């Protein structure tokens, strides 16, 4: 608004100067007109008095005198009898003068005076004279006040414009100083923004000091706010703040994601309009009503996400209505719930896996003690079963210890350049005897010195051994287990392929879980512990690789291990 007024004033000042010059000019012209009229009135009055005296003292008739006057004067004379009602009676004491404007710009002056002729008759002497207008040359100089006024208006306009520009410069400088900056502006730069010549030195000095003080304070507050915002935004804990009437004033990224709030999050929105979970609304409202911290829990409809709620009333900042503002904190406890479930399942599975062979060993032992020792065939058969269950227990404990050891390893272990051929050949030789007993043939397609990978020898050996063991265990009698390797975009894929019983598609996502078995009865008969693929998964992650599986029920399975290819320089 003020900027608009200032701009209009820049145009108004020259106009005001022109108008003032025109008014002065007209006043001068009007003054000249008054003086000229007064002079004309005086001249006409003197003429009338002169002829009145001549008529009064002359013995000639009035008509003859009037003709004589008309012949010798530029005016017109006329005697009017006293009975004329058109004449003003005030002319008895002196001439009455009137002015008339003619169409061509000239003016006519008319003077009337009562006279007494020589024969004693009372008449009216009327004098009429046509006079030109005032000579323009007399007051033409007065029109120079119009350009003078315009020039004065321009000068005032320029001064006003200069002052306005200084004001705008200072305003822009202050606005630029007010613009958020991470670092305060140095004094030298500030002096360039606010030059001292545009204002009083004392005011300039105090303004610089004031700006520096506010700028420093603002910078500190801004840095603190940005750090707080960054910390809150990076926190995995959801934080939402509400006013005393439960309107949102702040929500960090984690809180928006956990509660599926709309983007962008509407600030000042009411709690009941913002959040679609009734449990959250109930917890916050109840905590505000009671003035105590309350906890709650909700399950999101996205596959089992569990959120822990905690509502804090901020009693020290109670609103006008006595209700405190609220702080809502949310934590994602899905992983904790999964770990708790995994711990519970692990305990149950270990207990079951230990209990089954122990129960068998106890049953066979009791049977022997109850008299089966006297039967050589039964004794040998029971002792063989006890040995099998003891071996099963030994394998289970060994796998548990190995899994515990693997889980205690760092996320990435030290790697070296290894030959795939040598590692596969060693694992095949180890399992040839077991495969022969099951009438399963192992075919190694990996060529010597063909591929090298970055891995850790014991980990890679354990991975291949477990994959081969599973392939042999679940292959059909007379089946074949193949091992292949190929290069693909800087990776080496090692595949273990069998034509065994296969895995249902619904179970593919869970086969790497501890103690998970597709067919528990078939797995127990095959002698597996349910930990082999879990060990494979942890070791693959430790050496920076990945593992995938493809399988068709009744046709076989293919496990593919992908590792980084090792160059010759590594």
Instruction: Give percent of the chain with pLDDT exceeding 70.
Output: 71
User: pLDDT at residue 150 above 60?
Assistant: yes
Higher pLDDT, 535 or 528: 535
The string of pLDDT tens digits covering residues 469-519 is 888 888 888 889 999 988 888 898 999 999 888 888 877 777 877 666 655
Report the interhelical angle of 2-57 vs 145-178 (nearest 10°).
170
Q: What is the pLDDT of residue 82?
A: 63
Q: What domain range includes position 324?
A: 235-332
CA torsion sign for 437, 439, 445, 447 is positive
Residue finishing a domain among 332, 358, 388:
332
Q: What is the pLDDT of residue 232?
A: 76
CA angle, 241 as apex, 235 and 244 as ends, to 5°? Answer: 165
CA atoms of 496 and 559, how far apart (whole Å): 5
Does some domain include residue 423? Answer: yes
Higher pLDDT, 177 or 124: 124
Instruction: Give percent of the chain with pLDDT exceeding 90.
Output: 2
Residue finishing a domain among 332, 351, 376:
332
Please list, residue by residue across 316-352, b when 16 or more beta carbons sit within 10 angstroms of its beta carbon and e when fewer do: eeeeeeebbbbbbbbbbebeebeeeeeeeebeebbee
Are the CB atoms for 420 and 492 separated by under 8 Å?
yes
The string of pLDDT tens digits covering residues 454-464 is 888 888 888 88
Q: How far is CA 561 from CA 169, 495, 531, 535, in A?
A: 70, 6, 18, 14
The domain that contains 486 carries what CATH number?
3.30.565.10
CA atoms of 251 and 77, how far apart (whole Å): 107
Mark whether 475 and 396 lie in a shared domain.
no
Q: What is the pLDDT of residue 271?
A: 82
CA atoms of 236 and 330, how far apart (whole Å): 9
In this structure, are strands 556-564 and 491-498 parallel, antiparallel, or unpaired? antiparallel
CA torsion sign for 12, 17, 23, 29 is negative
Nearest CA among 537, 345, 540 for reference residue 456: 540
Does some domain include residue 352? Answer: yes
Average pLDDT, the chain: 75
Kindly calculate the radius of gyration of the chain based on its CA atoms and give it in whole angstroms: 59
Residue 1 — pLDDT band, cuts 50, 70, 90?
Answer: very low
Mean pLDDT calculated for residue range 129-155: 76
The β-bridge partners of 313 are 326
Q: What is the pLDDT of residue 523?
A: 47
Does some domain include residue 267? Answer: yes
The domain that contains 309 carries what CATH number?
3.30.450.20
User: pLDDT at residue 128 above 70?
Assistant: yes
Mean pLDDT calculated for residue range 256-285: 81
CA atoms of 90 and 107, how far apart (whole Å): 23
Mark whether 417 and 553 lie in a shared domain.
yes
* Residues found in the chain: 570
Mark whether 346 and 325 lie in a shared domain.
no
Does some domain include residue 153? Answer: no
Mark whether 440 and 537 lie in a shared domain.
yes
Are the CB atoms for 114 and 125 separated by under 8 Å?
yes
Mark whether 319 and 355 lie in a shared domain.
no
Are the CB atoms for 530 and 536 separated by under 8 Å?
no
User: pLDDT at residue 422 above 70?
Assistant: yes
CA atoms of 115 and 404, how far apart (whole Å): 150
Q: What is the pLDDT of residue 162?
A: 76
Are the CB atoms for 67 and 81 separated by under 8 Å?
no
Q: What is the pLDDT of residue 189?
A: 63
Helix (H) or strand (E) holding 64: helix 62-72
**Mean pLDDT: which of 68-72, 347-351, 402-406, 427-431 is highest?**
427-431
User: pLDDT at residue 557 above 70?
Assistant: yes
CA atoms of 367 and 308, how far apart (whole Å): 54
156 three-state secondary structure: helix
CA contacts within 13 A on the Cβ side of 464: 30
Residue finishing a domain among 277, 312, 332:
332
371 three-state secondary structure: coil
Residue 382 — pLDDT band, cuts 50, 70, 90?
Answer: confident
Does some domain include residue 171? Answer: no
The domain that contains 393 carries what CATH number?
1.10.287.130
Mark whether 354 and 462 lie in a shared domain.
no
Mark whether 322 and 342 lie in a shared domain.
no
Q: Please, which residues have CB within 8 angstroms of residue 454's CB and are 6 or more apart in sequence?
A: 415, 416, 417, 418, 543, 544, 563, 564, 565, 566, 570
Nearest CA among 487, 476, 508, 483 for reference residue 497: 483
The β-bridge partners of 247 are 270
Mark whether 52 and 88 lie in a shared domain.
yes
Are the CB atoms for 427 and 465 separated by under 8 Å?
yes
Residue 350 — pLDDT band, cuts 50, 70, 90?
Answer: low
CA atoms of 111 and 50, how far apart (whole Å): 13
Q: What is the pLDDT of residue 64?
A: 58
User: pLDDT at residue 521 above 50?
Assistant: no
Helix (H) or strand (E) holding 504: none
Q: Please, which residues have CB within 8 angstroms of residue 188's CB and are 6 or more apart in sequence?
A: none
Mean pLDDT calculated for residue range 327-341: 80
Indicate the range of 15-19, 170-174, 293-297, 493-497 predicted with least confidence: 170-174
User: pLDDT at residue 533 above 60?
Assistant: yes
Q: How many domains does the chain have?
A: 4
The β-bridge partners of 97 are 111
Does some domain include residue 292? Answer: yes
Indicate the range of 65-74, 367-376, 384-393, 493-502 predicted with least confidence: 65-74
Mark whether 367 and 324 lie in a shared domain.
no
Does some domain include residue 558? Answer: yes
The string of pLDDT tens digits covering residues 69-93 is 555 556 676 767 665 544 555 445 5
User: pLDDT at residue 50 above 80?
Assistant: no
Mark whether 328 and 344 lie in a shared domain.
no
- In terms of C-beta density within 10 A (0-12 exposed, 13-18 middle, 19 or more buried), how is residue 411 classed? exposed
CA atoms of 190 and 496, how far apart (whole Å): 73
Mark whether 322 and 367 lie in a shared domain.
no
Are the CB atoms for 409 and 402 separated by under 8 Å?
no
Cis peptide bond upstream of 146, omega within 30: no
The string of pLDDT tens digits covering residues 215-247 is 677 777 877 877 877 777 777 888 888 888 888
User: pLDDT at residue 97 above 70?
Assistant: yes
Mean pLDDT calculated for residue range 43-63: 70
The string of pLDDT tens digits covering residues 2-35 is 555 556 666 777 788 788 888 888 888 888 888 8
Cis peptide bond upstream of 264, omega within 30: yes
The string of pLDDT tens digits covering residues 523-532 is 445 455 567 7
Q: How far is CA 314 from CA 224, 293, 296, in A?
A: 22, 10, 18
Does some domain include residue 179? Answer: no
Higher pLDDT, 426 or 449: 426
Mark whether 309 and 269 lie in a shared domain.
yes
């Amino acid at each position: 608004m003020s900027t608009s007024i200032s701009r209009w004033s820049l145009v108004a000042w020259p106009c005001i100067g022109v108008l003032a010059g025109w008014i002065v000019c007209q006043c001068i012209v009007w003054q000249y007109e008054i003086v000229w009229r007064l002079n004309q009135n005086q001249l006409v009055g003197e003429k009338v008095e002169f002829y009145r005296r001549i008529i009064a003292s002359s013995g000639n008739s009035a008509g003859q005198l009037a003709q004589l006057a008309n012949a010798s004067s530029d005016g017109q004379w006329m005697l009017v009898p006293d009975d004329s009602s058109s004449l003003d009676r005030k002319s008895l004491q002196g001439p009455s003068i009137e002015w008339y404007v003619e169409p061509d710009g000239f003016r006519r002056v008319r003077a009337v005076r009562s006279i007494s002729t020589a024969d004693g008759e009372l008449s009216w002497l009327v004098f009429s004279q046509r006079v030109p207008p005032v000579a323009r040359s007399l007051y033409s100089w007065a029109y120079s006040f119009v350009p003078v006024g315009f020039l004065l208006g321009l000068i005032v306009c320029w001064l006003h414009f200069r002052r306005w520009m200084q004001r705008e410069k200072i305003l822009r400088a202050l606005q630029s100083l007010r613009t958020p900056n991470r670092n305060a502006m140095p004094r030298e730069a500030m002096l360039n923004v606010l030059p001292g010549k545009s204002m009083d030195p004392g005011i300039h000095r105090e303004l610089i000091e004031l700006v520096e003080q506010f700028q420093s304070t603002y910078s500190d507050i801004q840095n603190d706010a940005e750090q707080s915002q960054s910390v809150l935004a990076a926190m995995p804990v959801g934080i939402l703040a509400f006013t005393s009437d439960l309107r949102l004033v702040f929500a960090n990224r984690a809180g928006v994601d956990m509660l599926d709030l709309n983007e962008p999050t509407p600030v000042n929105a009411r709690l009941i309009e913002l959040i679609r979970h009734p449990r959250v609304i109930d917890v916050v409202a109840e905590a505000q009503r009671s003035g105590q911290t309350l906890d709650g829990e909700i399950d999101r409809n996205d596959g089992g996400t569990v959120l822990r709620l905690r509502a804090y009333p901020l009693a020290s900042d109670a609103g006008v209505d006595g209700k405190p503002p609220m702080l809502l904190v949310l934590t994602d406890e899905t992983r904790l719930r999964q770990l708790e479930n995994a711990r519970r399942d692990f305990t149950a599975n270990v207990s079951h896996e230990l209990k089954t062979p122990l129960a068998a060993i106890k049953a066979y032992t009791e049977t022997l003690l109850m008299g089966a020792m006297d039967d050589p065939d039964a004794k040998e058969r029971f002792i063989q079963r006890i040995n099998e269950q003891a071996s099963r227990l030994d394998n289970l404990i060994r796998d548990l210890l190995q899994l515990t050891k693997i889980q205690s390893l760092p996320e990435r272990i030290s790697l070296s350049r290894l030959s795939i051929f040598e590692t596969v050949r060693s694992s095949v030789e180890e399992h040839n005897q077991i495969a022969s007993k099951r009438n399963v043939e192992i075919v190694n397609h990996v060529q010597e010195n063909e591929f090298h990978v970055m891995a850790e020898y014991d980990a890679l050996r354990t991975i291949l051994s477990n994959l081969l063991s599973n392939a042999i265990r679940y292959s059909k009698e007379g089946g074949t287990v193949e091992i292949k390797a190929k290069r693909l975009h800087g990776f080496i894929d090692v595949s273990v392929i069998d034509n065994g019983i296969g895995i249902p598609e619904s179970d593919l996502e869970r086969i790497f879980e501890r103690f998970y078995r597709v067919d528990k009865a078939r797995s127990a008969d095959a002698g597996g512990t349910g930990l082999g693929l879990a060990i494979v998964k942890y070791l693959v992650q430790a050496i920076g690789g990945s593992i995938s599986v493809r399988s068709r029920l009744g046709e076989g399975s293919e496990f593919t291990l992908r590792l980084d290819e090792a160059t010759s320089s590594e």
